[in-house]
Amino acid sequence: MGQAEADQAAGAPAGPLSAELLHRMHGYWRAANYLSVGQIYLRANPLLERRLTRADIKPRLLGHWGTTPGLNLLYVHLNRLIVEQDVDMIAVIGPGHGGPGLVAQTYLEGSYTERYPAIERSRGGMERLFRQFSWPGGIPSHVAPETPGSIHEGGELGYALAHAYGAAFDNPDLVVACVIGDGEAETGALAASWHSNKFLNPASDGAVLPILHLNGFKIANPTVLARIPEDELASLMRGYGYEPFFVSGDDPMIVHQHLAATLDTVMHRIRAIQHHARSGTEPSVRPIWPMIVLRTPKGWTGPKIVDGKPVEGTWRAHQVPIADFEDSEHLVQLETWLRSYRPEELFDGNGKFLAEFASLAPTGHRRMGSNPHANGGELMLPLTLPDFRAHAVAVATPGCVKAAATATLGGYLRDVMALNLATANFRLFGPDETASNRLQAVYDVTGKTWMAETRPDDTDLSTDGRVMEVLSEHLCQGWLEGYLLTGRHGLFSCYEAFVHIVDSMVNQHAKWLKTTRSIPWRRPIASLNYLLTSHVWRQDHNGSSHQDPGFLDHVANKTADVARIYLPPDANCLLSVADHCLRSRGYINVIVAGKQPERQWLGIDAAVRHCTIGAGIWEWASDDGDPEVVLACAGDVPTLETLAAAMLLRDYVPDIRIRVVNVVDLMVLQPQKAHPHGLDDRAFDAMFTTDRPVIFAFHGFPSLIHRLAYARAGHHNFHVRGYKGEGTTTTPFDMVVMNDLDRYRLALDAIERVPRLKDRVPAETARYWAMMERHKLYVAEEGDDLPEVRDWQWAR
Amino acid sequence: MGQAEADQAAGAPAGPLSAELLHRMHGYWRAANYLSVGQIYLRANPLLERRLTRADIKPRLLGHWGTTPGLNLLYVHLNRLIVEQDVDMIAVIGPGHGGPGLVAQTYLEGSYTERYPAIERSRGGMERLFRQFSWPGGIPSHVAPETPGSIHEGGELGYALAHAYGAAFDNPDLVVACVIGDGEAETGALAASWHSNKFLNPASDGAVLPILHLNGFKIANPTVLARIPEDELASLMRGYGYEPFFVSGDDPMIVHQHLAATLDTVMHRIRAIQHHARSGTEPSVRPIWPMIVLRTPKGWTGPKIVDGKPVEGTWRAHQVPIADFEDSEHLVQLETWLRSYRPEELFDGNGKFLAEFASLAPTGHRRMGSNPHANGGELMLPLTLPDFRAHAVAVATPGCVKAAATATLGGYLRDVMALNLATANFRLFGPDETASNRLQAVYDVTGKTWMAETRPDDTDLSTDGRVMEVLSEHLCQGWLEGYLLTGRHGLFSCYEAFVHIVDSMVNQHAKWLKTTRSIPWRRPIASLNYLLTSHVWRQDHNGSSHQDPGFLDHVANKTADVARIYLPPDANCLLSVADHCLRSRGYINVIVAGKQPERQWLGIDAAVRHCTIGAGIWEWASDDGDPEVVLACAGDVPTLETLAAAMLLRDYVPDIRIRVVNVVDLMVLQPQKAHPHGLDDRAFDAMFTTDRPVIFAFHGFPSLIHRLAYARAGHHNFHVRGYKGEGTTTTPFDMVVMNDLDRYRLALDAIERVPRLKDRVPAETARYWAMMERHKLYVAEEGDDLPEVRDWQWAR
């Protein structure tokens, strides 16, 4: 301890830390800060054993210093809590730009070297640690999948607190510390996430400790929450249902004591809340959980002034505070900065962290970088799955019976829920739409999680329910991600159009999954499963704003390692697909299925066979021999229209030879080299032909089919119909008419493309327009679909 | 007034409403509720002149009753305020499901009939009003573009308050009442929007009056904010910086008086705040604006019990409370409900609203359904635009000079800002990225809006700044939408990857724009302009999480009427494109441009010519005569790699004949029948050839090029390189290598596809791999790009 510092420590206000512990913790913090600055700047001379030269400095300086010292401070203090109270804790680091800090911390505690043996705890290892950071072929600049102990990539801001809650659900012994940057706090997703405490049960779930870190600045601006009066901020936190504790300062010794005391207090509150809730005599009520507001300078302990401009405590500390080493003054300044941490007091001559400080870290799985919850695949138990065949709809002949696909699935999900109640590792997520999406059978075995007030008329609410309903797609997604990343399972059912709200979150999760494929120590986690329903074609109550199938395009852009899209045409196919998805690992599975009663096509055995291949000729709907035209379809409504078109065509042209092909797994359309599900060319060509017109009726935007199938030999014959952006509040049949996806249009499309029928085109076109005229008159007059459309029955 | 009601009125607590006014306002409310129920249910018998029969009832009952009576109540009360205080007011209706209410209100005040003359204010008009609602070919069920007075489609929840603030900016005389449903309040976007008050200047902007309407339920669940203690909710609102006023009740007479008194109070506060701010002597400080929490039953005045289950005041009132008229009991119940509003006291025998009530409405442009701010195109002034040529980069020969494209644009935007300061109708929006995106020249003429606390070190903050920076893409987008919809102009600059956060908002705005194309009275508004920068190829500080070009795919799905995508290859092209976009109307313009210093290709005249056509052969980079291979490119980095590949190819094969085609306007690739910008086939084929290999280097996902160009004659020759999901924190050149978009790969692609070079493929492949080996070794060792790549210069 330097004299000045000793004086400071001695003069610091009384607190829980003895002078000796304070000295050691401060040293630990200095070590982490030193290693953080080293990562940003140095390629050599890691222990500053000689004067710094330009050759020691990386050619490209990339990274973020500003948030890092605050994260390092918190990590050191959370470590103390873990050790003193034997806490099972992970940290979710919202300001993921502070990558160097988390890498430094996991290196100091030993977790890093266990995951990456080449990064030894020695001079050489330290040099490699520094050099790899933001170095080509090295590690990314952010907290990332590569970072031990992380379940959260900190690049895109907004999701830290939702991830933290997702991790805490059903993990009663876990405490999730969640650091929220004041920049992140301005985002929509984060602003909504505070209310997650209305959905966390102190008896059966773990605790989340939000730590709002006000360092005052974003990239180039002050932050809103740092620039409102403290009583307003306190009021905001109380309004969110938390008891805020403030820790502020720029004197390390004072902040150390204050933060330590505050952490003791909040941990005591958390334990008291849990003890009370778990003592079991009283009904669960929502507690007021503690949270911390930590206000410290941005870029704390970094250079105060560079080139005459203030840096520490300003937005200028955001990335690399000193750059441009053409200026030799800067070199001196950097060396001074690095030496200010006095590395020689912290590391021995071989670069080993001195035991005096190193012994502060927790050990084994208590180290946050080694906590198995943050590598959820290590803990994941497979779901116990019921026999989905028991839920099958009996289909004596195709089209003979109607069923609502998602309601059928609801029965299956009820059994999934029931079979996994004991392990408490399956939840259903939805933005207030579970019943609207016809999955309400799950309420037979569990309720909807609700810790806010209840009233006598409420139905299916429960403090320990396993259905998560909140009107925020961001929260559903973020909670589920956190739940999966800590080794559990789930399904997110959402209105198809509004799942676009989480497009960007899907990107980030897909990137995470892709990256973890090449990180050996990351164990596979359960897939992120979407059930998209209340889809574009059946938005009876709503109309245009609720009609958009473009999420499929979004997911199709994700890497083939990760993206899976299924469009089961009926209830039995939906059962087969859903069962498959719940067993799969590491994918983003998108299932689209309608919720209205519709005709059913395949018995359960046929459905399983069909879904296993992913696409197939429906022989029972096709004519023998070489087809003149292929009617292809993907999606429940397009399948209905296609089969109706086949009937019309046989009526118009009795000797026509039609083949009906149904596609369940959209990725079969891609070449095998582009996607593992891609059909090989021979099978594809045999199915779709290479020389016959293919009238493809698709659930989504037609261009997606072209984009997936463009390299196929017969692609030039593909004529795709789908959603083209037309729609309003109207009848089901009018919706398909507006988008040229209706049976009459499909039939005319076919006639136009079969060469021998060329002469009939004028007459059939006239018939088509007469039909459309009748349709328009009827719906305008009656406000409902034509009876023959409403009551249409398949016949062969 | 019925006797019971007269007693109620007499017994109501004293309030600002005289008994007579209370009676008339209550009658007005009854009328609006009657018309709302009528719209949901009736196709005939609009005045209930005979007993209701099943034939009077629509065959398909679609719509939402639950939120409607509350909205009707507010509208009546806001009307009183408008009339009594001559307020210039519009209303943003977050719970847009309450479409029937807003349609009813604008019909009662006369605005509706002025816009839609067939919907007369008579029995026949009323019947048409009822029938058209949620009827095929009629009007949508939500508040929609078709609804007079609306700037907000209420289908997708979350954006009401951001729209309201956007409307209020620079409209000092306007008061925007914003109704926020308690369902909507759970969304991320809405949760973030409350803090918009830190960006609204009471002197130069209008006022926003948030009205949080707690009717307690979403589709199937209670809402969070309705189920926390009132003091917690009040604390939340205070934390957001508002002074909350609570109005609660289920007795209409009491609620009328309480609401009226509260509105008087809050309007008084608003005027006092504005008066203070505008008196001009003191510096602007952020005031505490008032807001209202209105707690009334969901489905108020509707049926209390249906089929033995409570409806009014529960989630069961959300959509159509009584359905299934096979049950004759239901028919009686509906008739009782409708007659409870006593239409015979409100409308004369011809269906005309009685003057006693009708005279309460404001007149002319004071009617919220006729306020010109809600049809912004009526008020829009074109921007005064500077000569963009004055900002041109001098390019003596292609590639001879470097410039940062967005910094060049920054100078132009500074002049745009300066020229339109007087009209105060242009703002720049960005999530804390304006300077990061190199547009900081605008700070020469205006600051960043900031009404929160300031400190001495702050730079460029200003209470009347015109640059809007908040770390929320949702707010940037929502504010800008509100600003545009009320007749102003703007530009949203955003990191490319994170604009996905607003994918769903873009969908909704695109739908709005498309729909307004066919509404004659909706005047065109300015385009929504995006500048996407800090793009996928140059995320030096960040890496994978910041790399995603998929927004282009998302926008390409929008209707061709609306979507425009530009990829200017250099600064002068960016100037030309930006100028074009700022002059355009009613589009979504996406511009992608880098912020790093890069080589410049075209002088300003050439740039204008190039951008006007949208794509062209770069003769100066091409060989004369019939090409053997076409090197096409779109985007700045792909253009650089393509030109470098051309140089390499000429080095490898001196007599090779190359054509370089650059695409600025991505939509030229689509067939003319698919997009108005599509090149006609002859021009396209002449440019790209139909029989030569096209190596297309693209900024985004390669599949987008295939999807746009698949119908072109030469498409089977297109070989597209682009982003394929690979990336991390690395060097610029390594990024293109990781995605096979680098010059060496492009050159090899060309050699592989030129028939006469077939024999050279093995040697060139070996050369390619040797090059890659050198690259990998160099960057791994040096942490930077190869010097010949870093310092590459174009030569011909």
Per DSSP, the residues of B44-75 read S-TT--S---GGGB-SS-----TTHHHHHHHH
Tell me the average pLDDT across B360-380.
98
> Which residues in B lie closer than 8 A to residue A667 (C-beta atoms)?
none
| Beta strands per DSSP E along B296-431 | 305-306, 309-310, 402-404, 426-430
Instruction: Give, in order, the Cα–Cα distances in Å from A482 to each of A93, A236, A476, A590.
Output: 13, 25, 10, 18
Q: Is the pLDDT assigned to residue A149 strictly greater than 70?
A: yes
Give, as one character, the DSSP assignment of residue B659.
Answer: E
Strand order in the sheet with A448-449: A461-462, A448-449, A467-469, A426-430, A489-495, A528-533, A588-592, A563-566
> Which residues in A lie closer than 8 A to residue B137 (C-beta atoms)?
730, 776, 779-780
Q: What is the CA radius of gyration of chain A?
A: 30
3-class SS of residue A351: coil
Contact, B119 vs B113, CB < 8 A?
Answer: yes
Give, as one character, the DSSP assignment of residue B445.
Answer: T
Question: Closest partner residue to B239 among A235, A458, A503, by Cβ?
Answer: A235
> Which residues in B lie closer than 8 A to residue A500 (C-beta atoms)?
503-504, 507
The packing angle between helices A19-41 and A3-11, to 10°, is 130
Give first-to-last CA distance, chain A, whole Å.
Answer: 90
Least Cα distance to B451 among B435, B462, B466 occurs for: B462
Give, as one character, the DSSP assignment of residue A14.
Answer: P
Interior/surface letters B570-589, b for 16+ CB within 10 angstroms, e for the rest: bbbbbbbbbbbbbeeebbbb
Question: Closest partner residue to A189 among B58, B188, B730, by Cβ?
Answer: B188
3-state helix, strand, coil in chain B (%, to 5): 45, 15, 40
Instruction: Give, in order, the Cα–Cα distances in Å from A171 to each of A202, A424, B598.
Output: 10, 9, 52
* pLDDT tens-digit readout, B746-768: 999 999 999 999 999 999 999 99
- The lowest-confidence range among A270-279, A697-706, B9-18 is B9-18
Least Cα distance to A675 among A790, A768, A565 occurs for: A565
Residue A355: predicted pLDDT: 98
Residue B778, phi then psi, degrees to nearest 5: -65, -50
**Which H, E and C letters describe B168-221, residue by residue?**
HCCCCCEEEEEEEECCHHHCHHHHHHHHHHHHCCCCCCCEEEEEEEECCECCCC
Compute the count of residue pairs across chains A and B with CB atoms less than 8 Å apart.
367
Contact, B201 vs B286, CB < 8 A?
Answer: no
Contact, B693 vs B635, CB < 8 A?
Answer: no
What contacts B543, CB < 8 A, 6 or more positions away? A134, A140, A141, A142, A144, A155, B727, B728, B729, B730
3-class SS of residue A240: coil
* pLDDT tens-digit readout, A102-136: 999 999 999 999 999 999 999 999 999 999 999 99
Least Cα distance to B731 among A155, A61, A219 occurs for: A61
Tell me the average pLDDT across A444-460.
94
Least Cα distance to A434 among A471, A482, A386 occurs for: A471
> Does A103 lie at the interface with B, CB-CB under 8 angstroms?
no
> What number of CA atoms fall less than 13 Å from residue A23's CA on the CB side?
16
> Does B625 lie at the interface with A, CB-CB under 8 angstroms?
no
* pLDDT tens-digit readout, B426-444: 999 999 888 888 999 999 9
Residues 156-195 of A with CB under 8 A from B: 156-158, 183-184, 186-192, 194-195
Tell me how close the Cα of A81 comes to any Cα of chain B, in angstroms: 30
pLDDT bucket at A1, cuts 50 / 70 / 90: very low
Q: What is the mean pLDDT of chain A?
A: 95
Task: Give the integer Cα–Cα distance in Å for A487 and B32.
Answer: 53
Residue B626: predicted pLDDT: 94
Contact, A391 vs A408, CB < 8 A?
Answer: yes
3-state helix, strand, coil in chain A (%, to 5): 45, 15, 40
The reply to whether residue A136 touches residue B220, judged by beta carbons under 8 angstroms, is: no
3-class SS of residue A121: coil
Place of tokens 């939906």: A574
Contact, B692 vs B717, CB < 8 A?
Answer: yes
Quickly count: other Cβ atoms within 10 Å of residue B230's Cβ.
13
> Does B233 lie at the interface with A, CB-CB under 8 angstroms?
yes
What contacts B210, CB < 8 A, 6 or more positions away? B161, B164, B178, B180, B194, B242, B291, B292
What contacts B422, CB < 8 A, 6 or more positions away? none
Contact, B87 vs B23, CB < 8 A?
Answer: no
> Which residues in A lie closer than 8 A to residue B311 (C-beta atoms)?
none
* CA B405 to chain CA mean position, Å: 26
Contact, A258 vs A423, CB < 8 A?
Answer: no
Q: In chain B, which residue's Cα lies nearest the Cα of A735?
A: B136
On the 0-12 / 13-18 / 19+ scale of CB atoms within 10 A, A445 is middle
Least Cα distance to B416 among B480, B488, B478 occurs for: B488
Task: Give the integer Cα–Cα distance in Å for A741 and A656.
Answer: 21
Contact, A398 vs A621, CB < 8 A?
Answer: yes
Residue spans of alpha helices (H) in A653-760 = 681-688, 702-709, 732-738, 743-753
Place of tokens 């999807």: B707
> Length of chain B in residues, anyone?
796
Q: Is the pLDDT assigned to residue B8 strictly greater than 60?
A: no
Residue spans of alpha helices (H) in A86-148 = 99-109, 111-115, 123-132
* pLDDT tens-digit readout, B621-676: 999 989 999 999 999 999 999 999 999 999 999 999 999 999 999 999 999 999 99
The reply to whether residue A236 touches residue B232, judged by beta carbons under 8 angstroms, is: no
Tell me how close the Cα of B156 comes to any Cα of chain A, in angstroms: 6
Mutate to test the interface with A, among B143, B182, B224, B516 (most CBs of A within 10 A): B224
Question: What is the model's pTM?
Answer: 0.97
Task: Give the integer Cα–Cα distance in Å for B170 and B149.
Answer: 19
Tell me how close the Cα of B775 comes to any Cα of chain A, in angstroms: 11
What number is the ipTM of this complex? 0.97
Contact, B744 vs B771, CB < 8 A?
Answer: yes
* Percentage of chain B lying above the pLDDT 90 cut: 93
> Does A734 lie at the interface with B, CB-CB under 8 angstroms?
yes
* pLDDT tens-digit readout, B684-726: 999 999 999 999 999 999 999 999 999 999 999 999 999 999 9
> Does A198 lie at the interface with B, CB-CB under 8 angstroms?
yes
Residue A5: predicted pLDDT: 54
Interior/surface letters A214-251, b for 16+ CB within 10 angstroms, e for the rest: bbbbbbbbbbbbbbbeeeebbbbbbbbbbebbbbebee
Least Cα distance to A247 among A221, A211, A197 occurs for: A211
Tell me the average pLDDT across B475-490.
98
Least Cα distance to B294 among B368, B240, B244 occurs for: B244
Strands A309-310, A305-306: pairing is antiparallel
Task: Give the integer Cα–Cα distance in Å for B607 and A47.
Answer: 53
Tell me the average pLDDT across A235-253.
98
Quickly count: other Cβ atoms within 10 Å of residue B407's Cβ.
17
> Which residues in B lie closer than 8 A to residue A62 (C-beta atoms)?
540-541, 729
Contact, B167 vs B485, CB < 8 A?
Answer: yes
pLDDT bucket at A148, cuts 50 / 70 / 90: very high
Task: Give the integer Cα–Cα distance in Å for A616 and A602.
Answer: 12
> Which residues in B lie closer than 8 A to residue A198 (C-beta atoms)?
224, 227-228
Place of tokens 């909507």: B184
> Does B542 lie at the interface with A, CB-CB under 8 angstroms?
yes
> Does B767 lie at the interface with A, CB-CB under 8 angstroms?
no
**Which H, E and C letters describe A760-779, residue by residue?**
HHHHHHHHHHHHHHHHHHHH
Both tokens assigned to B586? 């009613």
Quickly count: other Cβ atoms within 10 Å of residue A269's Cβ.
18
Both tokens assigned to A91? 């940290």
Domains and CATH numbers, chain B: 3-371 (3.40.50.970), 388-599 (3.40.50.970), 620-790 (3.40.50.920)
* pLDDT tens-digit readout, A765-784: 999 999 999 999 999 999 99
Question: Closest partner residue to B239 among A232, A469, A474, by Cβ?
Answer: A232
Give, as one character, the DSSP assignment of residue A388.
Answer: G
Q: Is the pLDDT assigned to residue B541 strictly greater than 90?
A: no
Helix (H) or strand (E) holding B597: strand B597-599
Task: Give the integer Cα–Cα distance in Å for B188 and A191.
Answer: 6
Contact, B399 vs B370, CB < 8 A?
Answer: no
Place of tokens 């912004």: B376
Tell me the average pLDDT across A80-90.
98
Both tokens assigned to B749? 């692609």
Contact, A795 vs A647, CB < 8 A?
Answer: yes
Residue B756: predicted pLDDT: 97
pLDDT bucket at A429, cuts 50 / 70 / 90: very high
